Amino acid sequence: MDSMTIIAVASIASAGLTIALGSIGPALGEGRAVAMALNSLAQQPDAASTITRTLFVGLAMIESIAIYCFVVAMILIFANPFWNHVVTQVTGK
Amino acid sequence: MHLSPDGIIFWQHGLFKLNATIVFTWGLMFLLTVGSKLITRKLSMGLERTRWQNLLEILVTSMRKQIADVGLRNPERYLGFLGTLFLFVAMAALCTIIPGYEAPTGSLSTTATLALCVFVAVPMFGIEERGIGNYLKSYVHPTFIMLPFNIISELSRTLALAVRLFGNMMSGAMIIGILLTITPFIFPIVMSTLGLLTGMVQAYIFTILSAVYIAAATRARKPKSEPQTE
């Protein structure tokens, strides 16, 4: 395997691993947050607006972790700096 | 496939590039300003009012209420800044139903600009409300050791604001693009409907988070003396 193949394999595999492993934690966290919010909505329907607003803000905070993983995966696939470096080295000669 | 509307270049002259992000941002700004100007040209105080005036009144009053709910005391002062952020991000997401349009918030430069506006506005509102000495004192509030952590949190939340909005809008556009190549008929429509929903939620979250940051910077003028007297 030359270095180009190694870089391609490593980027593709790690992009898949990034989004797969990185979405486990936020998924568990969001499920827990929504379950608790539904619980408290059932107990106190009067506080619905406050609970919903806090839930949305909290969900956005949790989800941003998954979004970071997604952005990193997209960079690895579409805008990989190492891959671009190798490509310019090969074609520039 | 391109990551962001930065890649679509309409016109280029030397170093100056006119890409889709700039064009659509100016288009949105034009739409918002001219639309508001046209609607507010003939406002009525009576019971008879146009439906556009109704729309704007609903928007402004609900934004005022949301800002007040976060804990800011006089929402009118922050309505200009936060309302503009909300309207711009929401319109950028809503206009994706127009064919050929790409949301300018799907480009990292736009979202970084919006986040930098928040980054600058939070200390400005804080200093205006509490004075420069009191505001700077809040950085060393419990002990002096907290100073670097407070500064890091300011920077990291700006980065988080930018990357969150960018990631959400970009992922929506990219999922639709991928689905168009696999299942061209029904699923892209469903996903673009979901994209409209996430766009609105992201606009709401961006505004609420900015409001929360401003509230954190302006509040706690007297730490323990007037807890719940109002």
Q: How far apart are CA B153 and CA B88, in angstroms?
A: 26
Please indicate if any CB of chain A lies within 8 Å of the CB of B153.
Answer: no
> Average per-residue pLDDT in chain B?
84
Chain B positions in Cβ-Cβ contact with residue A68 (cut-off 8 Å) = 163, 167
Q: Is the pLDDT of residue B150 over 90?
A: no
Q: What residues in chain A have per-residue pLDDT under 70? A: 93
| pLDDT band at B230; cut points 50, 70, 90 | very low
Whether this prediction's pTM lies above 0.90 is answered by no
- Angle, CA B95 vertex, CA B22 and CA A27 arms, to 5°: 100
Residue A57 near residue B205, CB atoms below 8 Å: yes
Q: Do B209 and A68 touch (CB under 8 A)?
A: no
- Per-residue pLDDT at A93: 62
Q: How far apart are CA B90 and CA B84, in angstroms?
A: 10
Q: Which residues contact B12 (CB under 8 A, 6 or more apart)?
A: B18
Q: Do A63 and B69 touch (CB under 8 A)?
A: no
Interface predicted TM-score (ipTM): 0.72
Query: What pLDDT digit, counting tens, does each position of A18-41 carry?
Result: 999 999 999 999 999 999 999 999
Please indicate if any CB of chain A lies within 8 Å of the CB of B166.
Answer: yes
- Per-residue pLDDT at B33: 92
Residue B193 near residue A44, CB atoms below 8 Å: no
- Per-residue pLDDT at B44: 80
Helices (H), A1-93: 3-22, 24-43, 48-78, 81-92
Q: How far apart are CA A82 and CA A4, in angstroms?
A: 9
Candidate from B66-70, B193-197, B223-227 with smallest mean pLDDT:
B223-227
Q: How far apart are CA B210 and CA B203, in angstroms?
A: 11
